[in-house]
Amino acid sequence: MTRYLVPLTGLFLASCQMSGTSGSQSRYLAAYGPRQDQRAKTDPGAAMPDDTSYWAGDGKSGSPLIRINRAQQKAYFYKGGELVGMSRISTGKEGHNTPPGTYKITEKDRDHRSNLYGIFEEIGTARVVNDDADMSKDKVPAGCKFVGAPMWNFMRFTGGIGMHTGYLPGYNASHGCVRMPDKMARAFFDNVQLGTPVVVE
């Protein structure tokens, strides 16, 4: 048995009532980068310089496996038991913890959006009126619509939780998902298949 040692346009109806923080500095817009049609090839999720993440898995063979270390806030990618990549991550904050356990990748979606968390924006103007909308408890104001938070390169591994491109403030801050720098989320996404094991510690 191999052991892995770790050296993560519509019709304007009415004016929305303002709630939360608005404007271009919204947490969701800042956290997840440009919208899909404006997405850059650069890393929209980085909040701090990333001098630790790397990818050396191109051309390597072997069965993939991902280990997510919540204490270190890092994810490790193995091929055939060999460590070929490591990424800084941001896992779930208190009350939305990323659950420990052994899972498998059950879905891959390059352009995924959350159906639970995101923003409310005014129909016709796209003005953000609530940048921290939670569809489990917030009602969409009249004249507004819900826009799910982008979760590019989404790799679901349990329930509504997966790895994806996202904002990394340097600590666990997500709603349970595992956020990664865009370049690393793309590398992981391109090298996993449905059924790839994911170990969360």
- Closest to 99 measured CA to CA, from 31, 157, 168: 157
- Written as one letter, the residue type at 64 is P
- Written as one letter, the residue type at 166 is G
- Strands 113-122 and 128-134 turn out to be antiparallel
Contacts of residue 55, defined as CB under 8 A and 6 or more positions apart, other chains included, come to 77, 84, 85, 183, 184, 187
Span 47-98, pLDDT tens digits: 455 678 999 999 999 999 999 999 999 999 999 999 999 999 999 999 989 9
Tell whether the model's pLDDT for residue 28 goes beyond 80. no
112-141: average pLDDT: 92
10-24: average pLDDT: 37
Would you state the pLDDT for residue 32? 41
CATH number, domain 27-200? 2.40.440.10
Would you state the pLDDT for residue 43? 42
- Strands 161-165 and 144-150 turn out to be unpaired
What is the pLDDT of the chain when averaged over all its residues? 81
Domain boundaries, the chain: 27-200
Higher pLDDT, 130 or 11: 130
Cβ atoms of 184 and 87 within 8 Å: the answer is: yes
125-145: average pLDDT: 94
Would you state the pLDDT for residue 49? 56
Q: What residues act catalytically?
A: 164, 177
* DSSP character at residue 61: -
132-152: average pLDDT: 93
- Closest to 29 measured CA to CA, from 102, 97, 121: 121
Sheet holding 161-165, edge to edge: 107-109, 154-158, 161-165, 178-180
Would you state the pLDDT for residue 48? 52
Distance CA 177, CA 191 (A): 19
Higher pLDDT, 38 or 110: 110
Higher pLDDT, 163 or 47: 163
22-30: average pLDDT: 38
